[in-house]
Amino acid sequence: MRRVVQFSTGNVGVHSLRAIIGRPDLELVGVHAATPAKVGRDAAELCGLGEPTGITATADINALIALRPDCVVYTALGETRPIEAIEEMSTFLRAGINVVGTSMVWLVVPRQADDWLRTPLEQACAAGGASLYVNGIDPGYSADTAVHSALSLVARARSVTVQEIFDYGNYDDYEYTGTAMGFGRTCEDDVPMAFQPGVITSLFGGLVRNLARQLDVELDDVRERYEAWYATERITCRMTTVEAGGVAAVRFAVEGVRADAPVLTVEHVNRLTPAAAPSWPYPPGGALGVHKVVVEGEPRVEVNTHLSHPTLDVTDAGCVSTAARAVNAIDWVCRAPAGLIGLEDIPPAEMIRGLMW
């Protein structure tokens, strides 16, 4: 039985918290809350479960360390406050407490992460003899597990394309995703944060370079591209409201290039409504989202991953899966040698332990 602390209860964190409470191989021992209104409330209430757990949320990291958990599930928004997130993760790691999580998406490919991020976390892992693992659905599953499965079916590959084609209309994250992608901005506004030169590459280029390393291919270049689609009429959705003339869909990619042709592509097509950007690719069968891998090779392989749920929408289903990518690794990460862990370090069957009881 692993003793686990859940750090934050946002879009993803409520689902990791539910998973921890529900799994007999994990024991919830603490919950962190940054929002003052959440402090002191029962974990069950924070994730919409009926039966109280007796574990109440605290903003005091030292009190959580004093509980001596085996692992912390860190799902606090990290990319807009990276220095604080590194320090929070490092505080647990230095105390010998393992961390799994979904935040700081650069860490999905830790060997490709920049020094400013990797070095302090490696030092914290070494100081505490602890391990850190970050994953999700995209980035994460779509460019690692899904690609590995597709490539295992081919005798030779010519190219790999990873696509998230997803309607973000119901994603309640204007603060980070919406602002960064510039939903609602007009063509006269400044280029949004995510599409400033080099930013897409900083977020997704590591995935491309990691695949190149795993496939043992040398790329001539890693380049990025970006397009926006502007609304022709007002669009109202959970993420935000976009007036006519504002961005309602974006399409962007990082491409690993050989002989002037993209051979490894990680692409996103994100709309706020199915009516946006009608000439761009859609998920198959009228779905709102797909995580898709296409390997052109011998033979051609296409993997389309669709999530659904009896009561949650596809966006929340994606958050359940993102949380699962972290929670499912807890046991192995607790047994791992100290340091930063990438998915490739974990034997695949270790990720399904504890799922069925």
Residues binding ligand NAP (CB under 6 A): 8-13, 32-35, 38, 75-79, 81, 102-103, 105, 136-140, 173, 175-176, 322
Give me the least distance between CB of 2 and ligand NAP, in Å please: 21
Give me the least distance between CB of 147 and ligand NAP, in Å please: 15
Q: Residue 157 or 195: which CB sits closer to ligand NAP?
A: 195
Q: Residue 81 or 225: which CB sits closer to ligand NAP?
A: 81
Q: Residue 61 or 231: which CB sits closer to ligand NAP?
A: 61
Give me the least distance between CB of 187 and ligand NAP, in Å please: 27
Q: Residue 53 or 322: which CB sits closer to ligand NAP?
A: 322
Check if the beta carbon of residue 337 is closer than 8 Å to that of residue 191.
Answer: no
Give me the least distance between CB of 172 and ligand NAP, in Å please: 7
Q: Residue 13 or 110: which CB sits closer to ligand NAP?
A: 13
Give me the least distance between CB of 32 and ligand NAP, in Å please: 6
Q: Residue 83 or 126: which CB sits closer to ligand NAP?
A: 83
Give me the least distance between CB of 335 and ligand NAP, in Å please: 24
